[in-house]
Amino acid sequence: MPEKLRLGIFKFASCDGCQLSLLNAEEELLELAELVEFAHFPEASSRIDSGPYDLVLIEGSISTPEDLDRIQQIRRQTDTLVTIGACATAGGIQALRNGANHDEFMKLVYPHPEYLQSLATSTPISNHVSVDFELRGCPVDTGQLLQIISDKLHHRKFSVPDHSVCRDCKLQNIVCVSVARGIPCLGPLTQAGCGAICPRFHRGCYGCFGPCHQTNTDGLTDWLIKDGHASAELIPLFLNVNAEAPEFARTGAQLKRQDSAEGESDE
């Protein structure tokens, strides 16, 4: 019998939701256990084996001085490193502190911030070490996560669809929430992977899978504003879990400037 793939799963600043996507696989996990040695997966087992690993999955962003050292050590111990989820690929919701006053944020949240070691920014793993593949989502899709492990097992190139959520709506005959209900939706800009779950339940997409290939953010925001939406209404769609993804960061900043200008002209 061939040797099992040694898998390590590591957590940085995150909510554990992406690791739970793997635990949610349930039946497939039993099959996977025949082929994969879960050498480091503290979310699931107290048995922790040291590296080297064949594949490491990283959840979470770099947000403390300790993280800076730990991610370098992990990178040295693995052949392949894949980041999973919006925290690891784009800094996550905690990246909303980037560009804000970090000390003020700390004081607001913690009674004794002087005991905490925290960086002023939350950054994606790829800012610090080389990453072989980024799997998007908040949380990641269980099927895509299993696909990545299977790709590694079978020596295939990692790949997931990079078309938009909007196209998935069309393929599933989901009525457009923007056109039919006037709800602002980032489906045309957002990478597929969730099965268009929000529009299916009459909600607009807020981009949790991050920008898709070839986005036209200016075209969509111009259209939404002409359709009667205020800049302030659109800002939280761009500045949330993928706020540090460059396309969303640029558009969010642009909308903030527009919103301030609108406020000044109203005075």
Identified binder of ligand SF4 from the candidate list 78, 123, 190, 242, rule CB under 6 A: 190
Q: x/- string (CB under 6 A) for ligand SF4, residues 194-213?
A: x-xxx------xxxxx----
Identified binder of ligand SF4 from the candidate list 87, 149, 245, 249, rule CB under 6 A: 87
Residues of span 94-123 touching ligand SF4 by CB under 6 A: none
Judged by beta carbon, residue 87 or residue 220, the one nearer ligand SF4 is 87
Smallest separation, CB 85 to ligand SF4 (Å): 3
Residue 82 burial (CB count, 10 A): 23
Judged by beta carbon, residue 59 or residue 151, the one nearer ligand SF4 is 59
Residue 20 burial (CB count, 10 A): 15
Judged by beta carbon, residue 71 or residue 241, the one nearer ligand SF4 is 241
Judged by beta carbon, residue 58 or residue 255, the one nearer ligand SF4 is 58
Q: In what order do the strands lie in the sheet with 36-40?
A: 36-40, 5-11, 53-59, 78-84, 133-135
Judged by beta carbon, residue 45 or residue 172, the one nearer ligand SF4 is 172
Residues of span 155-184 touching ligand SF4 by CB under 6 A: 165
Nearest-CB residue for ligand SF4: 17
Strands (E), 89-168: 133-135
DSSP conformation letters of 219-260: HHHHHHHHTT--HHHHHHHHSSTTTTSHHHHHHHHHHHHHHH
Judged by beta carbon, residue 32 or residue 86, the one nearer ligand SF4 is 86
Residues of span 207-246 touching ligand SF4 by CB under 6 A: 207-209, 241
Residues of span 4-33 touching ligand SF4 by CB under 6 A: 14-15, 17-18
Contacts (Cβ under 8 Å, ≥6 apart) of 201? none
CA dist 107 and 104 (Å) reads 5
Q: Are 206 and 237 in contact (CB under 8 A)?
A: yes
Q: Are 81 and 74 in contact (CB under 8 A)?
A: yes
SS3 at position 208:
coil
N- to C-terminal Cα distance for the chain?
75
How many residues form the binding site for ligand SF4 (CB under 6 A)? 23
- What token pair was written down for 258? 């527009």
Judged by beta carbon, residue 13 or residue 39, the one nearer ligand SF4 is 13
- What are the residues binding ligand SF4 (CB under 6 A)? 14-15, 17-18, 59, 85-87, 92, 138-139, 165, 190, 194, 196-198, 205-209, 241
